[in-house]
Copies of this chain bind each other. A is one copy, B any other.
Protein backbone atom coordinates (compact mmCIF):
# COMPACT_ATOMS: atom_id res chain seq x y z
CA UNK A 1 0.00 0.00 0.00
CA UNK A 2 1.14 3.52 -0.78
CA UNK A 3 0.56 6.34 1.67
CA UNK A 4 0.97 10.05 1.00
CA UNK A 5 1.71 12.39 3.89
CA UNK A 6 0.13 15.83 3.71
CA UNK A 7 1.06 18.48 6.25
CA UNK A 8 -1.28 21.45 6.33
CA UNK A 9 -0.24 24.75 7.83
CA UNK A 10 1.03 28.13 6.71
CA UNK A 11 3.51 28.07 9.61
CA UNK A 12 5.39 25.30 7.77
CA UNK A 13 5.54 27.30 4.54
CA UNK A 14 6.79 30.37 6.39
CA UNK A 15 9.49 28.29 8.05
CA UNK A 16 8.18 29.03 11.55
CA UNK A 17 8.25 25.35 12.49
CA UNK A 18 10.21 22.31 11.36
CA UNK A 19 7.89 19.64 9.99
CA UNK A 20 8.67 16.80 12.39
CA UNK A 21 5.21 15.28 11.83
CA UNK A 22 6.15 14.12 8.33
CA UNK A 23 9.25 12.46 9.75
CA UNK A 24 7.27 10.80 12.54
CA UNK A 25 4.63 9.47 10.15
CA UNK A 26 7.26 8.34 7.62
CA UNK A 27 8.97 6.27 10.31
CA UNK A 28 5.65 4.78 11.39
CA UNK A 29 4.76 3.89 7.78
CA UNK A 30 8.17 2.22 7.39
CA UNK A 31 7.49 0.24 10.57
CA UNK A 32 4.10 -0.79 9.20
CA UNK A 33 5.56 -1.78 5.84
CA UNK A 34 3.50 0.93 4.13
CA UNK A 35 5.30 2.65 1.26
CA UNK A 36 5.62 6.42 1.27
CA UNK A 37 6.34 8.01 -2.11
CA UNK A 38 5.32 11.63 -1.55
CA UNK A 39 5.24 14.12 1.30
CA UNK A 40 3.54 17.44 0.64
CA UNK A 41 3.22 20.57 2.75
CA UNK A 42 0.57 23.10 1.83
CA UNK A 43 -0.97 26.15 3.50
CA UNK A 44 -4.45 26.73 4.90
CA UNK A 45 -5.86 27.68 1.51
CA UNK A 46 -8.92 26.11 -0.07
CA UNK A 47 -7.84 26.15 -3.69
CA UNK A 48 -4.34 24.75 -3.14
CA UNK A 49 -5.49 22.22 -0.58
CA UNK A 50 -8.14 20.97 -3.02
CA UNK A 51 -5.46 20.61 -5.68
CA UNK A 52 -3.20 18.66 -3.31
CA UNK A 53 -5.99 16.29 -2.22
CA UNK A 54 -7.01 15.54 -5.82
CA UNK A 55 -3.42 14.84 -6.86
CA UNK A 56 -2.88 12.59 -3.84
CA UNK A 57 -6.09 10.64 -4.50
CA UNK A 58 -4.89 10.01 -8.05
CA UNK A 59 -1.62 8.39 -6.98
CA UNK A 60 -1.85 7.04 -3.42
CA UNK A 61 -4.13 4.64 -1.54
CA UNK A 62 -3.83 6.19 1.90
CA UNK A 63 -3.76 9.94 2.58
CA UNK A 64 -2.57 10.94 6.03
CA UNK A 65 -3.15 14.59 6.89
CA UNK A 66 -1.80 16.47 9.87
CA UNK A 67 -2.86 19.97 10.87
CA UNK A 68 -5.66 22.32 9.97
CA UNK A 69 -8.18 20.82 12.42
CA UNK A 70 -8.18 23.76 14.82
CA UNK A 71 -11.22 25.82 15.87
CA UNK A 72 -10.53 28.93 13.77
CA UNK A 73 -11.75 29.88 10.31
CA UNK A 74 -8.23 29.38 8.96
CA UNK A 75 -8.38 25.67 9.70
CA UNK A 76 -9.74 24.09 6.57
CA UNK A 77 -8.52 20.50 6.26
CA UNK A 78 -11.78 18.85 7.28
CA UNK A 79 -13.97 21.27 5.33
CA UNK A 80 -11.99 21.00 2.09
CA UNK A 81 -11.68 17.22 2.34
CA UNK A 82 -15.45 16.92 2.76
CA UNK A 83 -15.99 19.16 -0.27
CA UNK A 84 -13.59 17.19 -2.48
CA UNK A 85 -15.29 13.93 -1.44
CA UNK A 86 -18.72 15.51 -1.93
CA UNK A 87 -19.69 14.68 1.65
CA UNK A 88 -21.48 16.70 4.35
CA UNK A 89 -20.17 17.82 7.72
CA UNK A 90 -22.40 16.71 10.57
CA UNK A 91 -22.28 17.35 14.29
CA UNK A 92 -21.00 14.45 16.37
CA UNK A 93 -22.65 14.48 19.80
CA UNK A 94 -19.98 12.22 21.34
CA UNK A 95 -17.23 14.65 20.30
CA UNK A 96 -19.30 17.63 21.45
CA UNK A 97 -19.56 16.05 24.88
CA UNK A 98 -15.81 15.36 24.96
CA UNK A 99 -15.04 19.00 24.10
CA UNK A 100 -17.34 20.14 26.91
CA UNK A 101 -15.57 17.79 29.34
CA UNK A 102 -12.15 18.96 28.14
CA UNK A 103 -12.97 22.57 28.98
CA UNK A 104 -14.40 21.58 32.35
CA UNK A 105 -11.12 19.84 33.21
CA UNK A 106 -9.01 22.78 32.07
CA UNK A 107 -10.21 25.34 34.56
CA UNK A 108 -9.83 28.89 33.44
CA UNK A 109 -10.36 28.12 29.75
CA UNK A 110 -13.68 29.19 28.27
CA UNK A 111 -15.46 27.54 25.37
CA UNK A 112 -15.90 29.91 22.48
CA UNK A 113 -18.47 29.48 19.71
CA UNK A 114 -15.56 28.47 17.44
CA UNK A 115 -14.81 25.38 19.48
CA UNK A 116 -18.03 23.67 18.39
CA UNK A 117 -16.61 23.63 14.85
CA UNK A 118 -14.37 20.84 16.12
CA UNK A 119 -17.43 18.68 16.87
CA UNK A 120 -18.29 18.58 13.16
CA UNK A 121 -17.22 15.40 11.39
CA UNK A 122 -17.31 14.19 7.79
CA UNK A 123 -20.43 12.03 7.31
CA UNK A 124 -19.66 8.31 7.41
CA UNK A 125 -16.25 8.82 9.01
CA UNK A 126 -14.90 7.04 12.06
CA UNK A 127 -14.08 9.34 14.97
CA UNK A 128 -10.79 8.83 16.81
CA UNK A 129 -10.82 10.40 20.26
CA UNK A 130 -8.15 12.94 21.11
CA UNK A 131 -7.00 12.49 24.71
CA UNK A 132 -4.76 15.53 24.65
CA UNK A 133 -6.80 18.17 22.89
CA UNK A 134 -10.16 19.01 21.35
CA UNK A 135 -9.73 18.08 17.67
CA UNK A 136 -10.74 14.45 17.06
CA UNK A 137 -9.02 12.37 14.40
CA UNK A 138 -11.15 11.15 11.49
CA UNK A 139 -10.89 8.11 9.24
CA UNK A 140 -12.82 8.31 5.97
CA UNK A 141 -13.15 5.57 3.37
CA UNK A 142 -13.96 6.77 -0.13
CA UNK A 143 -16.08 4.95 -2.70
CA UNK A 144 -12.85 4.10 -4.56
CA UNK A 145 -11.59 2.32 -1.41
CA UNK A 146 -9.07 5.05 -0.66
CA UNK A 147 -8.45 5.82 3.00
CA UNK A 148 -8.20 9.37 4.24
CA UNK A 149 -6.95 9.94 7.77
CA UNK A 150 -7.15 13.40 9.33
CA UNK A 151 -4.98 13.97 12.39
CA UNK A 152 -4.24 16.97 14.60
CA UNK A 153 -0.98 18.86 14.05
CA UNK A 154 0.46 19.27 17.59
CA UNK A 155 2.89 16.36 18.15
CA UNK A 156 1.67 15.82 21.73
CA UNK A 157 -1.81 15.13 20.31
CA UNK A 158 -0.69 13.36 17.12
CA UNK A 159 1.72 10.81 18.60
CA UNK A 160 -0.53 9.23 21.26
CA UNK A 161 -3.48 9.20 18.86
CA UNK A 162 -1.40 7.48 16.19
CA UNK A 163 0.07 4.90 18.56
CA UNK A 164 -3.27 4.07 20.17
CA UNK A 165 -5.64 4.06 17.23
CA UNK A 166 -4.11 4.68 13.81
CA UNK A 167 -1.17 2.27 14.00
CA UNK A 168 -3.38 -0.72 14.92
CA UNK A 169 -5.96 0.34 12.30
CA UNK A 170 -3.36 0.50 9.52
CA UNK A 171 -1.68 -2.68 10.71
CA UNK A 172 -4.98 -4.54 10.28
CA UNK A 173 -5.26 -3.37 6.67
CA UNK A 174 -2.01 -5.08 5.86
CA UNK A 175 -2.08 -8.74 4.92
CA UNK A 176 -0.47 -10.53 7.86
CA UNK A 177 1.50 -8.67 10.51
CA UNK A 178 4.73 -6.78 10.76
CA UNK A 179 6.97 -7.68 13.64
CA UNK A 180 10.08 -5.67 14.43
CA UNK A 181 12.87 -5.62 16.96
CA UNK A 182 15.49 -3.00 17.70
CA UNK A 183 19.25 -3.31 18.15
CA UNK A 184 21.02 -0.19 19.40
CA UNK A 185 24.79 0.05 18.98
CA UNK A 186 27.43 2.47 20.20
CA UNK A 187 31.17 2.71 20.59
CA UNK A 188 31.71 1.84 16.95
CA UNK A 189 31.84 4.22 13.97
CA UNK A 190 28.73 4.57 11.86
CA UNK A 191 30.38 3.62 8.61
CA UNK A 192 32.21 0.71 10.22
CA UNK A 193 28.92 -0.58 11.64
CA UNK A 194 27.29 -0.34 8.24
CA UNK A 195 30.19 -2.12 6.58
CA UNK A 196 29.90 -4.91 9.13
CA UNK A 197 26.34 -5.68 7.99
CA UNK A 198 26.65 -4.79 4.31
CA UNK A 199 26.38 -8.47 3.33
CA UNK A 200 23.22 -8.91 5.40
CA UNK A 201 21.60 -5.81 3.93
CA UNK A 202 22.61 -6.66 0.36
CA UNK A 203 20.87 -10.03 0.47
CA UNK A 204 17.91 -9.19 2.66
CA UNK A 205 14.33 -9.80 1.67
CA UNK A 206 12.37 -10.72 4.78
CA UNK A 207 13.21 -9.69 7.46
CA UNK A 208 14.83 -6.39 6.51
CA UNK A 209 17.44 -4.46 8.48
CA UNK A 210 17.04 -0.68 8.44
CA UNK A 211 19.94 1.31 9.93
CA UNK A 212 19.33 4.73 11.50
CA UNK A 213 22.41 6.78 12.32
CA UNK A 214 22.44 9.03 15.38
CA UNK A 215 25.50 10.96 16.55
CA UNK A 216 27.89 8.27 17.80
CA UNK A 217 25.26 5.55 17.60
CA UNK A 218 23.65 3.25 15.06
CA UNK A 219 20.14 1.87 15.54
CA UNK A 220 19.14 -1.19 13.54
CA UNK A 221 15.48 -2.03 13.12
CA UNK A 222 14.82 -5.62 12.04
CA UNK A 223 11.37 -6.04 10.54
CA UNK A 224 9.67 -9.21 9.37
CA UNK A 225 6.45 -9.46 7.42
CA UNK A 226 4.64 -12.59 8.57
CA UNK A 227 1.25 -14.20 8.79
CA UNK A 228 1.20 -13.92 12.58
CA UNK A 229 3.33 -12.73 15.50
CA UNK A 230 4.81 -16.15 16.20
CA UNK A 231 6.07 -16.44 12.66
CA UNK A 232 7.31 -12.85 12.80
CA UNK A 233 9.32 -13.51 15.97
CA UNK A 234 10.76 -16.70 14.46
CA UNK A 235 11.88 -14.82 11.35
CA UNK A 236 13.49 -11.98 13.30
CA UNK A 237 15.26 -14.15 15.89
CA UNK A 238 18.17 -15.50 13.78
CA UNK A 239 18.91 -12.04 12.39
CA UNK A 240 19.06 -10.51 15.88
CA UNK A 241 21.29 -13.40 16.98
CA UNK A 242 23.61 -12.82 14.03
CA UNK A 243 23.80 -9.11 14.90
CA UNK A 244 24.52 -9.99 18.53
CA UNK A 245 27.39 -12.21 17.37
CA UNK A 246 28.83 -9.45 15.20
CA UNK A 247 28.42 -6.48 17.53
CA UNK A 248 28.57 -8.26 20.89
CA UNK A 249 28.96 -5.75 23.77
CA UNK A 250 28.63 -2.82 21.39
CA UNK A 251 24.90 -3.50 21.59
CA UNK A 252 23.68 -1.51 24.55
CA UNK A 253 19.99 -2.29 24.36
CA UNK A 254 17.25 -4.04 22.41
CA UNK A 255 14.53 -1.86 23.87
CA UNK A 256 12.86 0.65 21.61
CA UNK A 257 12.31 3.28 24.29
CA UNK A 258 15.64 2.93 26.11
CA UNK A 259 18.58 5.19 25.35
CA UNK A 260 22.23 5.04 26.38
CA UNK A 261 21.90 7.20 29.49
CA UNK A 262 18.96 5.09 30.68
CA UNK A 263 21.10 1.97 30.35
CA UNK A 264 23.99 3.56 32.25
CA UNK A 265 21.76 4.84 35.08
CA UNK A 266 20.06 1.43 35.32
CA UNK A 267 23.42 -0.36 35.44
CA UNK A 268 24.62 1.97 38.19
CA UNK A 269 21.44 1.43 40.20
CA UNK A 270 21.52 -2.34 39.65
CA UNK A 271 25.03 -2.59 41.11
CA UNK A 272 24.36 0.04 43.78
CA UNK A 273 26.96 2.37 42.39
CA UNK A 274 27.09 6.14 42.54
CA UNK A 275 28.66 8.26 39.86
CA UNK A 276 30.67 11.42 40.09
CA UNK A 277 31.60 13.30 36.93
CA UNK A 278 34.52 15.53 35.98
CA UNK A 279 34.13 17.47 32.78
CA UNK A 280 36.41 19.81 30.96
CA UNK A 281 35.63 20.24 27.24
CA UNK A 282 32.08 18.89 27.56
CA UNK A 283 31.35 21.49 30.25
CA UNK A 284 28.29 19.88 31.82
CA UNK A 285 26.83 18.12 28.79
CA UNK A 286 27.68 14.67 30.11
CA UNK A 287 26.04 15.25 33.47
CA UNK A 288 23.11 17.01 31.83
CA UNK A 289 22.56 13.86 29.79
CA UNK A 290 22.57 11.64 32.88
CA UNK A 291 20.20 13.98 34.70
CA UNK A 292 17.78 13.56 31.77
CA UNK A 293 16.95 10.17 33.21
CA UNK A 294 14.15 10.46 35.75
CA UNK A 295 15.59 8.92 38.91
CA UNK A 296 19.19 9.92 38.13
CA UNK A 297 19.35 11.59 41.53
CA UNK A 298 19.55 8.12 43.09
CA UNK A 299 22.93 7.44 41.50
CA UNK A 300 24.40 10.87 40.88
CA UNK A 301 26.92 12.02 43.45
CA UNK A 302 28.07 15.30 42.03
CA UNK A 303 29.58 16.85 38.99
CA UNK A 304 32.67 18.99 38.64
CA UNK A 305 33.09 21.22 35.63
CA UNK A 306 36.75 22.08 35.77
CA UNK A 307 37.86 24.16 32.86
CA UNK A 308 40.96 25.66 34.45
CA UNK A 309 44.03 23.80 35.68
CA UNK A 310 43.53 25.42 39.09
CA UNK A 311 40.09 23.88 39.41
CA UNK A 312 41.40 20.48 38.32
CA UNK A 313 43.97 20.69 41.10
CA UNK A 314 41.64 22.08 43.76
CA UNK A 315 38.59 19.88 43.31
CA UNK A 316 39.92 16.78 41.59
CA UNK A 317 43.37 16.65 43.19
CA UNK A 318 45.07 16.39 39.83
CA UNK A 319 48.73 16.95 40.64
CA UNK A 320 50.39 20.15 39.52
CA UNK A 321 53.27 18.06 38.17
CA UNK A 322 51.01 15.98 35.95
CA UNK A 323 49.40 19.07 34.46
CA UNK A 324 52.80 20.64 33.86
CA UNK A 325 54.45 17.58 32.42
CA UNK A 326 51.65 16.07 30.30
CA UNK A 327 49.18 18.93 29.89
CA UNK A 328 45.47 19.18 30.70
CA UNK A 329 44.56 17.05 27.70
CA UNK A 330 46.46 13.86 28.37
CA UNK A 331 46.06 10.28 29.44
CA UNK A 332 47.61 11.07 32.80
CA UNK A 333 45.33 14.02 33.57
CA UNK A 334 42.22 12.07 32.53
CA UNK A 335 43.26 9.26 34.88
CA UNK A 336 43.82 11.62 37.81
CA UNK A 337 40.56 13.46 37.10
CA UNK A 338 38.74 10.13 37.23
CA UNK A 339 40.32 8.97 40.45
CA UNK A 340 40.03 12.44 41.99
CA UNK A 341 36.33 12.71 41.17
CA UNK A 342 35.74 9.24 42.51
CA UNK A 343 37.44 9.87 45.78
CA UNK A 344 35.75 13.21 46.20
CA UNK A 345 32.18 12.03 46.43
CA UNK A 346 30.75 13.70 49.50
CA UNK A 347 28.99 11.89 52.28
CA UNK A 348 31.08 8.73 52.16
CA UNK A 349 34.36 8.03 53.90
CA UNK A 350 36.98 6.16 52.00
CA UNK A 351 36.63 4.10 48.92
CA UNK A 352 34.75 0.82 49.11
CA UNK A 353 36.10 -1.93 46.86
CA UNK A 354 34.37 -4.81 48.60
CA UNK A 355 31.87 -5.77 45.94
CA UNK A 356 30.04 -8.71 47.40
CA UNK A 357 29.77 -7.42 50.90
CA UNK A 358 26.21 -8.66 51.31
CA UNK A 359 25.23 -5.31 52.74
CA UNK A 360 22.14 -4.11 50.97
CA UNK A 361 22.39 -0.72 52.59
CA UNK A 362 25.76 0.01 51.09
CA UNK A 363 24.73 2.27 48.25
CA UNK A 364 27.98 4.16 48.29
CA UNK A 365 30.20 2.24 45.89
CA UNK A 366 31.78 4.91 43.83
CA UNK A 367 32.41 5.25 40.12
CA UNK A 368 33.51 8.24 38.11
CA UNK A 369 33.72 9.46 34.57
CA UNK A 370 36.11 12.19 33.44
CA UNK A 371 36.45 13.91 30.08
CA UNK A 372 39.22 16.23 28.94
CA UNK A 373 39.82 17.22 25.36
CA UNK A 374 40.06 19.85 22.66
CA UNK A 375 36.63 20.66 21.23
CA UNK A 376 37.89 23.48 19.05
CA UNK A 377 37.76 25.66 17.12
CA UNK A 378 41.01 26.86 18.75
CA UNK A 379 43.46 25.02 20.99
CA UNK A 380 44.64 22.30 18.62
CA UNK A 381 48.29 21.51 18.01
CA UNK A 382 50.17 19.24 15.61
CA UNK A 383 50.51 16.65 18.35
CA UNK A 384 47.01 17.11 19.78
CA UNK A 385 44.72 18.35 17.01
CA UNK A 386 41.15 19.55 17.59
CA UNK A 387 39.05 16.48 18.37
CA UNK A 388 41.63 14.85 20.64
CA UNK A 389 39.75 13.68 23.73
CA UNK A 390 40.82 11.54 26.69
CA UNK A 391 38.10 9.84 28.67
CA UNK A 392 38.81 8.19 31.98
CA UNK A 393 36.61 6.23 34.29
CA UNK A 394 37.09 4.58 37.65
CA UNK A 395 34.98 1.55 38.41
CA UNK A 396 35.55 -0.90 41.23
CA UNK A 397 38.86 0.76 42.03
CA UNK A 398 40.21 0.36 38.50
CA UNK A 399 40.95 3.32 36.30
CA UNK A 400 40.57 2.97 32.54
CA UNK A 401 41.55 5.71 30.10
CA UNK A 402 40.90 5.79 26.37
CA UNK A 403 42.10 8.23 23.75
CA UNK A 404 39.71 9.33 21.01
CA UNK A 405 40.16 11.34 17.85
CA UNK A 406 36.81 12.78 16.85
CA UNK A 407 35.95 14.63 13.64
CA UNK A 408 33.59 17.53 13.24
CA UNK A 409 32.90 20.93 14.76
CA UNK A 410 32.96 21.91 18.45
CA UNK A 411 29.40 20.69 18.97
CA UNK A 412 30.02 17.32 17.32
CA UNK A 413 33.26 16.69 19.22
CA UNK A 414 31.42 17.31 22.48
CA UNK A 415 28.50 15.07 21.55
CA UNK A 416 30.82 12.25 20.52
CA UNK A 417 32.71 12.69 23.79
CA UNK A 418 29.54 12.33 25.85
CA UNK A 419 28.33 9.23 23.98
CA UNK A 420 31.71 7.53 24.11
CA UNK A 421 32.15 8.45 27.76
CA UNK A 422 28.82 6.87 28.65
CA UNK A 423 29.81 3.82 26.65
CA UNK A 424 33.18 3.51 28.39
CA UNK A 425 31.43 3.61 31.75
CA UNK A 426 28.84 1.07 30.59
CA UNK A 427 31.39 -1.46 29.33
CA UNK A 428 33.60 -0.94 32.40
CA UNK A 429 30.73 -1.69 34.78
CA UNK A 430 29.88 -4.80 32.78
CA UNK A 431 33.51 -5.97 32.81
CA UNK A 432 33.88 -5.37 36.53
CA UNK A 433 30.56 -6.59 37.82
CA UNK A 434 28.83 -8.87 35.30
A433 within 8 A of B: no
Smallest CB gap from A274: residue in B: B308
Residues of B within 8 A of A411 (CB): 292
| B contact residues around A289 at 8 Å (CB) | 284
User: Which A residues between 23 and 75 are near B, CB-CB below 8 angstroms?
Assistant: 23-30, 36-43, 45, 48, 51-52, 55, 59
Given known contacts A19-B22, A37-B42, is B283 in contact with A305 (CB within 8 Å)?
A: no
> Which of these binds chain B: A9-17, A329-337, A420-428?
A9-17
List B contacts of A15 (CB < 8 A): 23-30, 36
Interface with B: A79-87, A178-186, A294-302, which one? A294-302
A23 touches which one: B18, B38, B297, B376 (CB < 8 A)?
B18
Q: Contacts of A18 on B, CB cut-off 8 Å?
A: 18-20, 23
Instruction: Among B59, B305, B308, point to the contact of A277 (Cβ < 8 A).
Output: B305
Given contacts A287-B305, A291-B283, contact A41 B22 (CB under 8 A): yes
Copies of this chain per assembly: 2
Would you call A310 an interface residue if the criterion is a C-beta within 8 Å of the partner chain's C-beta atoms?
yes
Q: Is A111 an interface residue (CB 8 A)?
A: no
Which chain B positions have C-beta within 8 A of A40? Answer: 38-41
Question: Does A283 lie within 8 Å of B296, measured CB to CB?
Answer: yes
Contacts of A377 in B (CB 8 A): 294
Asked whether A346 and B315 contact (CB < 8 A) given A14-B210, A40-B38, the answer is yes
Asked whether A37 and B20 contact (CB < 8 A) given A304-B303, A346-B315, the answer is: no
Contact B378 A294 (CB under 8 A): yes
Among A39, A314, A376, A414, max chain B CB count under 10 A is at A39
Chain B residues with CB under 8 A of A98: none
Q: Which residue of B lies closest to A287 (CB)?
A: B284
State the CA gap A38–B49 with chains docked (Å).
Answer: 10
Q: Given known contacts A13-B37, A26-B13, is B283 in contact with A303 (CB within 8 Å)?
A: yes
A314 touches B23 (CB 8 A): no
Interface assignment of A77: CB less than 8 Å from any CB of chain B: no
**Does any Cβ of B come within 8 Å of A285's Cβ?**
yes
Q: Kindly identify, within residues 306 to 360 of chain A, every residue whose CB is under 8 Å from any CB belonging to chain B.
A: 306-308, 310-311, 313-315, 346-347
Q: Contact check, B38 vs A12: say whether CB atoms are below 8 A apart.
A: no
CA distance A285 to B52 in the complex (A): 43
**Which residues 203-227 of A have a CB within 8 angstroms of B?**
210, 212-213
A176 interface residue, CB < 8 Å from B?
no
Q: Is A262 an interface residue (CB 8 A)?
A: no
Q: Does any Cβ of B come within 8 Å of A410's Cβ?
A: yes
Closest beta carbon of chain B to A329's beta carbon, Å: 12
Indicate if A290 sits at the interface (CB-CB under 8 A). yes
Complex contact A23–B13 (CB within 8 A): no
Note all chain B residues with C-beta closer than 8 A to A30. 14-15
Q: Are B26 and A39 in contact (CB under 8 A)?
A: no
A288 contacts the other chain (CB 8 A): yes
- From known contacts A23-B17, A300-B307, infer whether A287 and B283 are also in contact, taking CB-CB under 8 Å: yes
Which residues of B have CB within 8 Å of A391? Answer: none
Chain B residues, Cβ within 8 Å of A43: 37
- CB within 8 A of A288: which of B23, B55, B283, B347? B283
Q: Which of A41, A48, A285, A305: most chain B Cβ within 10 A?
A: A305
Q: Write 12 A-B pairs (CB below 8 A) sorted by A numbering.
A: A13-B39, A14-B27, A19-B23, A38-B41, A291-B414, A300-B305, A300-B308, A302-B306, A303-B304, A304-B304, A310-B346, A310-B347
8 A-B pairs with the lowest CB-CB distances in the bound complex, closest first: A283-B291, A303-B305, A284-B284, A15-B27, A15-B26, A284-B287, A310-B347, A284-B288
Given contacts A283-B296, A311-B346, 19 further A-B contacts (CB under 8 A): A12-B26, A14-B36, A16-B212, A18-B19, A37-B42, A283-B291, A284-B284, A284-B305, A291-B307, A294-B378, A296-B307, A301-B311, A302-B304, A302-B311, A303-B303, A310-B346, A313-B346, A314-B346, A315-B315
